[in-house]
Chains A and B, each alone.
Chain A
Amino acid sequence: MMTENDWSLKARDLTRVYHRGSEEIRALDGVSLSIRRGEFVSFMGSSGSGKTTLINLLGCLDNPTSGALELAGKSIFGAGKPLGERELTRVRREVFGYIFQNFYLIPTLTVQENVALPLAFYRKPGAEEEVERLLKLLGMEQRRDHLPGQISGGEMQRVAIARALVNRPEILLADEPTGNLDTRRATEIGEVLQELNRSSGLTIVMVTHNPGLARLAGRQIEMRDGLAYES
């Protein structure tokens, strides 16, 4: 019997193979790991190491070639049949929030509207209040009526974070979140993520090539040639 605190992500032998012409590329070569609720995990590695591929699979953005993934004990991958877009979307919106290197805010919507955007498609109960709470939490209250073009890069990433959290996901997936920010702002975001993890127990899975940022995570995993090495 699973309790709330036992919530977890379990990956077993995840493999991802690409075919480019006649060439076969093993981007991920059988990775297994477990992540519990409240953990802050960072993945580091050079390009081609497979960190990107891994996070895509963990975040249900892609199907593995083989291997299994369980979320909260429920099998997502591994039943043999690859999942279609609709099923993947359903899992994603239940479990994950995403932020990326490019903030991807909609330029014609205000800060508030951008944060509330996911609710146009999927709304967990109580989500409306989350908009307000997150705006405050991430310090964007005063800027709620501004357009993305009127705020700084760091502020844009905060908005993206708020947007990612509005449906109270289990896991925040951050893919190079500071890639487009200068050092000072990158540090800010790093601190924001740390704070979120510490105070609300948000599980964070982060990919970065910034060692300073990686060290803010409680658990650091290095990727090399499609395999994971935990220090």
Chain B
Amino acid sequence: MITPFQIAYKNLLRKKVRSLLTLVGIMLSTWVLVSLFGFNRGYEAALNRDIDNMGYQLMVMAKGCPYEAATMMLQGGKGLRYMEPSMVNDILKEPGVAKVTPILMQAFFDPNKGESGGIAGFYGVDPASYPALKPFLRFRKGGWFHDSAAAEVVMGYEAAELEQREVGDLTMVPEKNVPLKVVGILERTGSQDDGTIFVPLKTLQRISQTDQITTIGIKVKKDADMEKLENRLYQLKDVQVVSFSQVKQTVMKLISTARVMVFSIAIVALLIAMVGVVNTVLMSVLERRQEIGILKTMGAMPGDIFRLVWTETLILCTLGGVAGIGFALLFARVTDMLARRVLPYAPSGGLVAIDLRISLLALSIIVAVGLLSGLYPAWKAGSIRPLESIRGE
């Protein structure tokens, strides 16, 4: 026995090219929609990953102090400004602060570097609190410091490569001529850590003959009010606050503008595809007026005809939607590449993350919009009076 569903899809087969073209239209707009959702999800996740990888989210340092090693080197090691170590406790008291770590950056002059000498930078960290704020520290060889004042260094991958150091070798702090033992070499991270030489804070302070620090790294509690905390930190004397969330927010703002634009395009593409659907189905309804009239003489109720035509729309949208999703998954790598080329900043890792949830969401949107736009043709078909249609020859 034949079912209304079979009648519907066989109707679509009557004009194969027309149905195919409509399908392609839906497929393309689904592809755009799905890729967009995937990009949205992937980008934000990758960005979060990058920022999480940085470890702490806020840095507090003395006003005027460079917070990047590159800047410090450019300034010839000058321009370092210091803070009192007591600042650490003050900050720890702030609500919203989960963890802190004190850091001392120092530069020493090495007369034997290059033709007329150069500077060597060292990064003093507290072995107790620093690793907690950098959960992704991974060692290629060796391990962390043995105690908080050991005469040891841990080197970033590229720093070790440059100096041809292995675990157990010695390295010299120039200017002060203090030898330190290499106890660990880190895995390559692709970040500034690769070129960093880490020293225990107390050791570096001893070598530099100071008890001060340059930076405090802060990890905030998950539910903390970042903005409020930043404002409070700004109140502290003579400090500047650098927030990676600011970085993230700026980038997100850039991206959201792009996103709004692309979403608008996707909506337009969706509407165009839907207009195509309405057109196709309406045309086929008008072509089949007499036939529909006959169906009504066979006992088909207006509701039956409505459902029949609506089913045709549903079939078109579902098939087109599924094809579009398949397409998007297949070409996710290509979309990733295109996105990277276009964006001003792209974090590492997969940018386009299409999962089941996104696919289902896109599909349901396509189907919903399709069904909505199919209402008119279906209603029109349902209201055809057999008399007029059959007699109207």
Contacts and interface: CB of A to CB of B under 8 A. Distances in A.
A161 B180 CA distance: 103
11 contacts: A61-B297, A85-B301, A106-B7, A108-B14, A109-B2, A109-B7, A113-B6, A120-B4, A121-B4, A121-B300, A131-B1
A93 interface: yes
Given A100-B390, A109-B10, A128 B298 contact: no
A157 B216 CA distance: 92
Contacts of A113: 2, 6
B291 A106 contact: yes
Contact of A118 (B14, B298, B386): B298
Contacts of B320: none
A107 interface: yes
B97 interface: no
Given A61-B386, A100-B390, A104-B290, A121 B299 contact: yes
A98 B297 contact: yes
B294 A120 contact: no
Counting chain B CB atoms within 10 Å of each CB, the highest count among A104, A121, A128 belongs to A121
Contacts of A85: 296, 301-302, 383, 385
Interface string A86-119: 1001001100101010101011110001001111
A108 B1 contact: no
B302 A118 contact: no
- Looking at chain B's contact residues, the main secondary structure is helix
Interface of B: 1-4, 6-7, 10-11, 13-14, 290-291, 294-302, 304, 383, 385-387, 390-391, 393
A81 B385 CA distance: 18
A118 B299 CA distance: 7
A85 B388 CA distance: 13
B387 A121 contact: no
Interface centre among B2, B10, B14, B299 (most CB of A within 10 A): B299
B302 to A, nearest CB: 5
Contact of B301 (A106, A116, A121, A167): A121
A89 B300 contact: yes
A177 to B, nearest CB: 14
B2 A104 contact: no
Given A61-B386, A113-B6, A118-B299, 16 more contacts: A61-B297, A85-B383, A85-B385, A89-B299, A92-B296, A96-B297, A100-B390, A104-B290, A106-B291, A108-B13, A108-B14, A109-B7, A116-B1, A120-B1, A120-B7, A122-B298
Contacts of A102: 290, 393
A116 B297 contact: no
B302 A116 contact: no
A194 interface: no
Contacts of B385: 85
B296 A89 contact: yes
Nearest to B14: A108
A56 interface: yes
Contacts of B391: 52, 56
A62 interface: yes
B7 A92 contact: no
Contacts of B393: 102
Contacts of A122: 298-300
Contact of B2 (A89, A107, A117): A117
B13 to A, nearest CB: 6
A86 B305 CA distance: 12
Contact of A163 (B6, B13, B298, B304): B298
Nearest to B305: A121
Given A102-B290, A119-B1, A93 B298 contact: yes
Question: Which has the most chain A C-beta neighbours within 10 Å: B13, B14, B298?
Answer: B298
Contacts of A96: 297
Contacts of B13: 108
A108 B304 CA distance: 19
A167 B14 CA distance: 27
Contacts of B301: 85-86, 89, 121
Given A104-B290, A104-B291, A119 B2 contact: yes
A30 B6 CA distance: 45
Interface in A120-143: 120-122, 128, 131
A124 B120 CA distance: 95
Contacts of B294: 98, 100, 104
